[in-house]
Amino acid sequence: MSAVIEGHHDDHHHGPAKGITRWLYTTNHKDIGSLYLWFSFIMLFIGGAMAMVIRAELFEPGSQIVSPEFYNQMVTNHGLIMVFGVIMPAFVGLANWLIPMQIGAPDMALPRLNNLSFWILPAAFGVLLATFFMEGGAPNFGWTFYAPLSTEYAPPTVTYFIFAVHIMGASSIMGSINVITTILNMRAPGMTLMKMPLFVWSWLITAYLLIAVMPVLAGAVTMMLMDIHFGTSFFKAGGGGDPVLFQHIFWFFGHPEVYIMILPAFGIVSHIIETFSRKPIFGYDSMVYAIASIALLSFVVWAHHMFTVGMPIAGELFFMYSTMLIAIPTGVKVFNWLSTMFKGSLTFETPMLFAIAFVALFTIGGLSGLMLAIAPADFQYHDTYFVVAHFHYVLVPGALFSIIAAVYYWLPKWTGYMYDEFMGKTHFWLSFVSVNLTFFPMHFVGLAGMPRRIPDYAMQFADYNMIVSVGAFLFGLSQLLFLYVVLKAIFYGKKATGQVWEGAQGLEWTLNSPPAYHTFETPPNLEAGEAKG
């Protein structure tokens, strides 16, 4: 099948336009994928800089560098940017680049909508960052923006925040409609659902989750807007409402959101592990069912984020048990990855190193999550650094490592140039050591009772906090090395072959590196089973 595709060039389609308008007007999934990925990369450094401010402030106890008010703005915007501006756009960027190539489609189903989905993101984040320079300062109520902190006690910029969130939500919904339509409607003939690559499967389910919960977030911020400016009482007990209602609505969005940030990672890691184990993924079907189960369960576990808020005991128990259930499909995935590696011909290139680190460290994050799921135990852990350690383990060596792994894995395909393997491995080991140095001690201070979201802490936590800060600075610097490796590959890298990796399977590897501007203008005809994995 490769002979049909390689070097294929259609005369009545041109290459990319020249100059800035290429990026402003583009309808090409590869261009839009690159835009998303670079946007995410830039936001990683902005959000990362905020993390550095936080860790500098916490380097020693006592008020050190910034005012408590500014510290709150840092914590809030670090969270918002990392969640909505880094992890999600990076996964959408990967979806844009990879899904059409993996399913043999000419582009995304709705190319102009695709461009719109991207370009409203810089608008939303531009407004969000501009609030730092407005009266009252940037949002300071945490990325979860609980009422009444975000309503009665919020700075006036909360109004801009609300509309910015609306725009981010619109971007996600339009992007997801595009992804889901592409997957359902544009697969090459012969690629049935259960033959789709796992990254495509993970995104199909992620897109479904996004369309299901982003509107609920829109509803939550709309209620905030009404409470703040139009006298309603959704979150005001004096009128018969309830501030806890906000938490319920937020986490009804928030918990599926957590899986939105990890399901595509599952897909990525599955591809990388099978490639460098030179074996097809173990238990493909069970991988698909596990992703689907995790997604469905994510709708009925939200209140485990709010065990201490005062729920009836029946609620506490229901959400405790439903949360624990998630460990089962997640365990299936972890064991499938291990079984794929078992007796494989393993090699340890940079993407594989990041993928293996993902499996190990994500599992640590998952297990601390299981500890947090135990309602009576959570009364002790709630809002401590243990929670911070938990979600950073699933988001940094989890989601972020999978994105970095994906970039190393597919960069030669996208650009046509190999990255520097030695520098890549250096980047990995620096990141691996520093990420654990940063987040592992947080477990200890958390269990000992250090609360999250505070600019100062008791003397007894000083040693560990200093270690954490040193680890965080090292991790931050390591990501500059990542930028260097990527740029070096693009400008000075060695030519990559179309296959790139010896063990890589799937349609994207049948294309040239870099692929033509338009690929699969005529869909490849697949024999049964050929595209699996």
Partner 1 sequence: MSSDSSYYVPESSKLPIFMAFGLLLFVLGAGSTINDLGKESSNSYILLMTSFAVIWGVMFVWFSNVINENNKGMYSDQLNQSFVWGMAWFIFSEVMFFFAFFLALGYVRMFSVPWLGGEGEKAITNILWPAFEATWPVMVTPDNELFPGAEKNMNMPGITKLHTWLPFWNTLCLVTSSGTIALAEAALKKGKRAAFKSWMVVTISLGFIFVFLQGLEYYEAYAHMGLTLGAGIYGTTFFLLTGFHGFHVCLGAIILTIMTIRGFGGAFSEHDHFGLAAGSWYWHFVDVVWILLVLVVYVF
- Which is catalytic among the residues 151, 172, 298, 519? 172
Active site residue 302: no
Using alpha carbons, list the distances in angstroms from residue 441 to 255, 314, 430, 461, 522. 25, 34, 17, 10, 54
Q: Which stretch binds partner 1 (CB under 8 A): 120-128, 287-295, 464-472, 481-489?
A: 120-128
Nearer to partner 1, 248 or 452 (CB): 248
Q: Which stretch binds partner 1 (CB under 8 A): 74-82, 306-314, 342-350, 480-488?
A: 306-314
What separation, in Å, do the N-terminal and C-terminal C-alpha atoms of the chain show?
16
Interface with partner 1: number of residues (CB under 8 A):
83
Q: Which of 238, 285, 376, 492 is the binder for partner 1 (CB under 8 A)?
A: 238
Nearer to partner 1, 10 or 456 (CB): 10
d(CA 248, CA 306): 8
The contact pattern for partner 1, residues 134-163, with x = CB under 8 A and - = no contact, is ----------------------x--xx-xx
Nearer to partner 1, 25 or 422 (CB): 25
Q: How many CB atoms lie within 10 A of CB 405?
A: 26
Least distance to partner 1, CB of residue 14, Å? 7
User: Cis before residue 148, ω within 30 degrees of 0?
Assistant: yes
Q: Which of 56, 211, 466, 490 is the binder for partner 1 (CB under 8 A)?
A: 211
* Cα angle 45-451-449, degrees, rounded to a multiple of 5: 130
The contacts of residue 466 (CB under 8 Å, 6+ apart) are 59, 60
Is residue 123 part of the contact set for partner 1 (CB under 8 A)? yes
Q: 134-173 as b/e, with b when 16 or more CB fall inside 10 Å?
A: eeebbbbbbbbbbbbbbbeebbebbebbbebbbbbbbbbb
Is residue 19 part of the contact set for partner 1 (CB under 8 A)? no
Q: Which of 245, 370, 462, 470 is the binder for partner 1 (CB under 8 A)?
A: 245
Q: Which of 2, 64, 67, 112 is the binder for partner 1 (CB under 8 A)?
A: 112
Nearer to partner 1, 21 or 67 (CB): 21
Is residue 120 part of the contact set for partner 1 (CB under 8 A)? yes
Is residue 186 part of the contact set for partner 1 (CB under 8 A)? yes
Active site residue 257: yes
Q: Which of 363, 370, 369, 402 is nearest to 388 (CA)?
A: 369
User: Which neighbouring-strand residues pair with 451?
Assistant: 384
Active site residue 270: yes
Active site residue 323: no
379-408: which residues touch partner 1 (CB under 8 A)? none
* Cα angle 437-439-443, degrees, rounded to a multiple of 5: 115
Q: Which of 1, 8, 27, 344 is the binder for partner 1 (CB under 8 A)?
A: 27
- CA-CA-CA-CA torsion sign (274, 277, 280, 282): negative
- Which is catalytic among the residues 257, 274, 349, 508? 257
The contacts of residue 531 (CB under 8 Å, 6+ apart) are 102, 103, 104, 188, 190, 191, 195, 196, 197, 506, 507
34-63: which residues touch partner 1 (CB under 8 A)? none
d(CA 231, CA 502): 64
Nearer to partner 1, 311 or 483 (CB): 311
Structure tokens at 305: 């984020």
Q: Which of 52, 164, 294, 395 is the binder for partner 1 (CB under 8 A)?
A: 164
Is residue 376 part of the contact set for partner 1 (CB under 8 A)? no
Helices (H), 111-197: 111-130, 158-185
Is residue 492 part of the contact set for partner 1 (CB under 8 A)? no
d(CA 304, CA 321): 10
Active site residue 143: yes
The contacts of residue 362 (CB under 8 Å, 6+ apart) are 262, 265, 393, 394, 397, 398
- Which is catalytic among the residues 71, 259, 302, 337? 259
- The DSSP result for 263-323, as a single string, is HHHHHHHHHHHHHHHTSPPTTHHHHHHHHHHHHHHGGG-GGGGGGGGT--HHHHHHHHHHH
What residue type is 237 in one-letter code? A
Active site residue 271: no
Active site residue 333: yes
Nearer to partner 1, 35 or 198 (CB): 35
Q: Which of 248, 278, 453, 488 is the binder for partner 1 (CB under 8 A)?
A: 248
Q: Which of 61, 219, 449, 514 is the binder for partner 1 (CB under 8 A)?
A: 219
d(CA 401, CA 397): 5
Whether the CB-CB separation of 366 and 395 falls below 8 Å is answered with no
Q: Which of 8, 46, 59, 242 is the binder for partner 1 (CB under 8 A)?
A: 242
Q: Which of 68, 522, 525, 529 is the binder for partner 1 (CB under 8 A)?
A: 522
Active site residue 443: no
Is residue 231 part of the contact set for partner 1 (CB under 8 A)? yes
Least distance to partner 1, CB of residue 444, Å? 34
| Positions marked active-site | 78, 107, 143, 171-172, 255, 257, 259, 270, 304-305, 330, 333, 452
